[in-house]
Amino acid sequence: DDILDTGNTLYYLTQELEALGAAEIKLCVLLNKQARREKEIHADWIGFEIEDQFVVGYGLDYNGKYRNLPYIGVWSPEES
């Protein structure tokens, strides 16, 4: 996944896969934002730990913008 944020989506997906009989589930995320976690879930592989900031670039967007940046950066409302 791109960002492990609240954990709600990956928690739901892992529950569904377990219900379907998955023998093993491993999670890999590019970014881990632990500060916003609502569900108890952990990734097996993490690219980067980040603070509670809104990030854009490298496929991540804000309002359809900034997705094509060749890097990940912090989005600032003053700069849009």
By annotation, the residues acting in catalysis are 5
Calculate the alpha carbon distances from 78 to 7, 8, 74, 75 in Å. Answer: 28, 29, 12, 9
As to burial, measured by CB atoms within 10 angstroms (0-12 exposed, 13-18 middle, 19+ buried), residue 52 is exposed
